[in-house]
Amino acid sequence: MSLSVSPLVDLAARVGLSPTSALLTTAMTHSSYAAEHGVTSNERLEFLGDAVVDLAIADLIVRDFPELDEGSGSLVRSKVVNESSLAEAARVLALGAVVRVGKGVQKENGRERPSLLADAFEALVAAIYLECGYELARDFVQRALRADVEAALTEPGAVDPKTRLRQWSEARGRGTPRYEVTADGPSHAVTFEARVFLVDEQWAVGHGRSKKAAEADAARRAWERRDA
């Protein structure tokens, strides 16, 4: 089969590529079609696009969500850069109507397979990156997946306890939580106690084997009593 002209032209216009772009054609070529017609599949582009998507989302998290530490940022990124999210982004772009597939995949209505769509999305990102540069590819990825990042932030466990408490406290006019930490015990078995204050009121006390762990425990306990 040949590329669907109208969907391809529409896709090219939306992503800033020419409908005659060789890279766009390759990006929309599944391995099943490539094997049947002796052309290049999108597998190498998918490999590159995977890295570009990962970097673009990390870039978004660092620039627009400074409250996330590296652990929370990694968790949010993992919830966004996955087959399910990328396949949904591909559906929004109607890539299933554009990608070229072999007869077997076509017969099985395989154009809507999540894995096929996710790979096509990553290959498309790579095509944009190679033809237009990183900034345009980054902006494309961030527009496509920003809502997923924001949704991931609302999921339980997506944000560390200190960040969650700070967001809640600041939103209610209580300011940024303040922590006072003390250490006790011998150097080989030291324990830490953290007290968290909202304005000048002590809200909770936490303990841990490190300062960071004690503060997180205090923040968790303060969060649990927020509606008390």
Q: How confident is the model at residue 97 (pLDDT cuts 50, 70, 90)?
A: very high
Are residues 121 and 28 in contact, defined by beta-carbon separation less than 8 angstroms?
A: no
Are residues 146 and 61 in contact, defined by beta-carbon separation less than 8 angstroms?
A: no
CATH number of the domain within which 214 lies: 3.30.160.20
Looking at mean pLDDT, say which of 5-9, 74-78, 88-92, 167-171 comes out highest: 88-92
Full residue range of the structural domain in which residue 199 is found: 161-224
CATH number of the domain within which 48 lies: 1.10.1520.10
**Mean pLDDT, rounded, for 135-139:** 97
Q: Are residues 128 and 168 in the same domain?
A: no
Q: Are residues 141 and 201 in the same domain?
A: no
Mapping DSSP onto H, E and C, the string for 48-89 reads: HHHHHHHHHHHHHHHHHCCCCCHHHHHHHHHHHCCHHHHHHH
Please identify every residue annotated as catalytic.
Answer: 50, 122
pTM, whole model, 2 decimals? 0.70
User: Considering its fold, how many domains does the chain have in total?
Assistant: 2
Q: Are residues 11 and 108 in the same domain?
A: yes
Quick check: 228 pLDDT over 60? no
Q: Are residues 183 and 122 in the same domain?
A: no
Q: Are residues 109 and 188 in the same domain?
A: no
Q: How confident is the model at residue 1 (pLDDT cuts 50, 70, 90)?
A: very low
- The per-residue pLDDT for range 145-171, each reduced to its tens digit, is 999 998 887 776 666 788 888 888 988
Average pLDDT score over the chain:
89
Q: Are residues 94 and 197 in the same domain?
A: no
Residue after which a domain boundary falls, among 120, 153, 186: 153
